[in-house]
Structure formats: structure tokens, C-alpha cells
Structure 1
């Protein structure tokens, strides 16, 4: 049973009596404004930016605006239940923290802080394949549980190594991200000429991996690539790569391995040839429950079930991959219809508040993943900021249900306005 809304309100208001205020703003617009001031230009561009003209980022938000909650009264909702079971584990609330890569742009200890904050808030996190710390180092901080995100590399040996490490480290599931077989066109990053991975950021899962270490040595021992002109920026980049590579900074400056690691990553990271034939091999590769992230079309959801996966995550990568893409919330009901109650259906992209979570659950999502808001809390107050943002979302979810006359998300009633029926929903 969840009473987090009233408890959180009471905590804030009682703190106010003693002059204490929330660590970070409790409303998303103010949270976003303050985070922008706190972050570097590169960090802000990477975390906040979207693909192309960012139509998809705006579409994700517009979709939530089209679905309105219809409050009902006198329903005796003194107790609310937001708990959900996912892969044999009961969660108090249907919320997870989405994987966000290269958060070491925001803070050197970002991924550890996110794990700690998620644990404090009592929600699982999905550890990014592009984290700044190895999954084995993050796992002990994720006391509410964690899943591992997998980007399918061009090296199957590396894929198998990541899966084996995730099992050994205690992951609850593996989330295979399908929508980033190549990087989207991201003008904010392009205009800065900035890709964090090319500077050694966000590749700790790789540099901590034995298979990747072998691939890196092969790169270092192979034909030398032309060295960039020794401009001040090139020197700073070399220092940055050396600083983020495992080992002593001075030793890294003398070694070819840090630069070879970056070159190896850029070569093996994406796999445009990924197909359903690859997905069909997952059951023989891992014992973990498999969730496919990036599923939007009902036919793809059905195909996923045929491949034996255990869940789907309706996502457009927060609008960061395809400009002009459909909004996730618009396609959610079609995916839910396609899979029925056979596997959990999760949703991310565009979620900013507890009221957003409530609407996604009312439209059929089993659980919802929170993204940019917790990253902004991280930028303002580290682990405490992550924990507060997450707890505030859970509190608003609980209060929204109470005020709408719903004992659980399934009781919530919605009215939808101006939303065209997506053709993909009925495609067979």
C-alpha cells in the first residue's frame, strides 16, 4: 500500500516550519531551468537535446496533454495500491529510472550517485551500457534492484561478456535497446563538435570488460592511425581520455591503450545489421528476463513475443534518435492490445511528473521509466537530488490517484482529446 503522497507533503511542510525547503524544485519547469544553469554546455546539450529539430521531444509532451484525467468523487480511496510485480519481484511503485548514458558529463561519480538515489527512493534503476562506472561497481549502491541495458555491439563475444557479467553481478533483467543501432542526428552535440565517448566518457562498461580489453590490445598493435594535429583542443582531449581510462593518469599518458580503447569503442559500438535473427539467440545467451526497448509498432511487439522475450519497453529514446517520430504515449495502447497480458509493457519518453505516470498506467503500461528529471536532480544535488525527484514523482502519483477517486492506476479514468488514431495500432 502506498501513502507516499501525504507522507512526502508532511515532510516538506514540517521542514518548512524550521526553514528547510526541498533540495531541488518540485515542479519540472523550475527543475529544468535550474539544471541548465548548473550544467556545462556540453552536458546540457547531451542530456536535454533531441534529434533534428526536436519535434519528437515536443510530440512526447503533446501526447500527454491530449489525455486528461477525469476525477471521480466519493469513492472511499483512503488506501491506494501502486505496487506491481515485475519478473518475480514486487515493487512498491511502478517506476524505474531509465538508462541515461554519459552522465559522467554531469558528475564524475554520477552513476554511483544515481544508484544511491534510486535506492533511497526505493525504485530500481536500469544501468546504462554507456555508464561512467562498471556495472559491478554500481550494483552495490542500487539497493532497490537494477536491470542492465545492452547495446548490441558488432562483437558477439562482447555481447556475451556483458550478459555474463550482468548475471554475475545480480541484474534483475537485461534491456536490449533497439533504437540506437546508429546514433541519431543531434544538432546540439554536432554544433559543439562533441561526442562524449570520443573523449573516453561513458565507456566504463567497455574498458572494464576482458573481451573489450583484448579488442583494444589488437587495435593498439595494429596499423597506427594518423595522429591529429597537436592543437590545444587535441591536447585537452588526450588529457581527458587519459583521465577517464582505468589506471594511473601518468601511466595512461604514456600508453597507447586509452586512445586505442576510444578507437575500438567507436568501431564496435553500433550494429546497424541487428535483426530478429539476433534477438532469437538471446534465450541461449542469458538466463535473465529480456526486455526489448524501442518497440513502437504492434507488429514488432508481436514479433518480440514470438522471439520469446519477457517484456517490451515502448520508447523513442526520449526523442533523441528519430526526428518526427510518433510519440510513445500515442502508440502505447496499440502495443498493449498486441501483447495482451502475456508480458509487461513499460513506457518511457516524455514522462515528467507523477500525473504523467498515472496517465501512462491508465493507458495500459505496467510500469514507467523516468529519465531527464532525475538527471536534472543529479545536476543540482547529486544522489539527494535523484532521490528527491524520484520521491516527488511517486508522491504526486499517489495523490493524483487519491484525488481522482482511484484506489489503483487501473481505476483511473481518462478523457482523450484531439489524438488521431495511429495507423500502426491496427496494423496486422
Structure 2
């Protein structure tokens, strides 16, 4: 079956891509808005806003997964897009920092509800098993491309307009996403037990705690979050205040990290056919520890340069891809087929909890004590996570994850695949 020959899937995928790029452009513009409102305290504002985002994802996403079948899915998706468009449209009008926190809370609550709702629709539209697998892969590719292209598009746009115009464009994008969803046929979900999502999340976390390689993945989540927080939270102040760069320069520096992620992601599929996932992921952890350490050295020595920053940011992007890309393969090799959804749901929650720890360190401590202190703490967290992964994930477990097939179990039914889509 040709995946994009399916009219409804084609329109829903287009809606997802447009919404993804809208979210990416909003992230760039949000950093510049924080700088416009708070100047040197922009890191604290952005760190708080992103902490609010993580809280919403941790709290709202499981609730949405559990209760989404109570509502007409197409109506809900369109309504959430309208809410996101309205919130983004209001962001350039704010005059107080607390306004940002309220609006970001609303925006991320809507996004946290949109994601599981949208993903649960896909298996009901793409009924062929191989086409469904390609649909999940297409969503992952779209997310990867967004991380690279959103900062580049923002950099180009900022050469011709002020950052507040980005909010207008992203608001229009969310509304267009809603129109595409409205034009597609979206079947409603079959009612189910509403405790199921919570039960699966709890079961998934128990699986993580008792499986050595998954305990290693938990530790690696901390490494990714520690290094990634430097890029996401502190780039705007680092580029504007220390390097004396422009709004467009902020976007280009974020694009340097995205470029590293994309380059590594393109190479990794062939590497993972020959190299154990544990080796690839712990190597990525080493790259991230080196990147955070280099960032500390850069700021401590006062030798801040464009080239040095771009190299470190690109290295962090590469390290993140080395850790994140094989994670799905490890999860699938660690549990029975019918337990895959709960493993992915647990990884979603645990990875976001790691960011919930590191975002405040980068934002609050970076503003109050300086980048050297904050990045040193993040470097220690990254090193602790890398060491924990090496200790918790034995080498023989790494070989098993790379070579052994998934534990035999029954083939997932439509309902099982719906839950997998929610978790992925």
C-alpha cells in the first residue's frame, strides 16, 4: 500500500508537519521574546517557561491518552489547533513576564493533549501493518527535520522581519493545521476502560526499573537533558550578550545543533546494523559529557568565540542523536510485543522528568550564578548519567539488545496499535 495515496493520512500528516514547524518557530521566537522582556534574565524566563512545558507534558499527556475517547476526535483536534493559534497570536502582545508563563501553560497543555489524540488516529486510518510502520517512521523523520529546519527558517525570516512577526506566522500555521484536520475523515475512538493508560504507564516504569538495559536508558535521559538544556535555554543570552549577535544569529546557532543531530541521524541506521546499541548510545553520552565540559571551559576561560560555540553546539547535537535514535530499538528488544506501548509511555514520562530537572538549572542557576556555575552543574549531571548508564547497563545486555528478536507474543490488534501510536 502506498502510504501517501491515502487521502486522509496525507492531510493529517500535512497538518502534523505544519504544526511541528509552528511549534519550532514558536520556540525560537519565545527565546527572543524572553530577551526582549527580561534582557540578561532571559535565561531564567525561558527556563521557567520550558519547565512549565515539561510539567504540562508529564501531567496532561497521560490524562489525554486515558480520556481522549470520550470526545469526537476531529472536533477535539481542530479545537486544540485553534487554541494553540490563539495563544501564539497573543504572545507578542504580552507586557509582563508572568503573562508568558500563563500563555505557555495553555499552549503546552493544548499540545500535550493534541499529540496522543493525533497519534491514536493513525492506526484507524492506516490499516495495513507495513504502511502503519512507515507512518510512524514518517512522523519521526518529520520531527527530526523540524529540529533542523525551524531555526534555519527562523534565521532567514528574522533577516527581513522582527521576531514578533514569527508569532503571526506560526499562529496562521496552527489554523491551517486545523483546517487540514477538518478536511479529513477522522473516526471516533471506541470507548475503553479509562484506567488503562495509567496502568500501562505504571507497568512500563516497573519494567524500566527491573530491566538492566532500560535502567541504562533512564540514566542516558539525564545526559541528554543536561547537555540539551544548555542549547535550548542559554543560547539566546550567550549569543546576544556574550557574542554580541543578532536575533538571526540566535537562530543560526540553534541550527548548528540541529545540523549535528540530523547528520548523525542520517548515518546511524547503517551503523546500528553493525554496532551494538549500547556502544552507540554510551559513545553519544561521552560526546555529550565532552560537550558540556567544553562549554564550561569556554565560559570559564572567558575565551568565548563564534567558532568555539558553533563546534560545541554541533557536537551536542551529534551526541543527542547518538543517544536518542537507537532508543526505540532498545525498547522494542527489551519487552514483549504487546508490552511495547507501556514501555514507550514510560520512556516519554521519564525523559520529560529529566528535562524537568535540567531546565531550571540552566535557566534559574544560569541567571543567578552565571553560566560557568550552571553549566558545571549540568556537566556533573551529564557525567553522573553517563557513569550510571555504564554501570546499570552491562555489556552482555547491550549485545542482547542489538541482536535478539523481540520476545514472541501475539500480534498487536487494532486497539494495541492505537496504544502504541499514543506512546510513540
TM bin, normalised by shorter chain, reads under 0.3
**Greater share of strand residues, 1 or 2?**
1
* TM-score normalised over the length of structure 2: 0.23
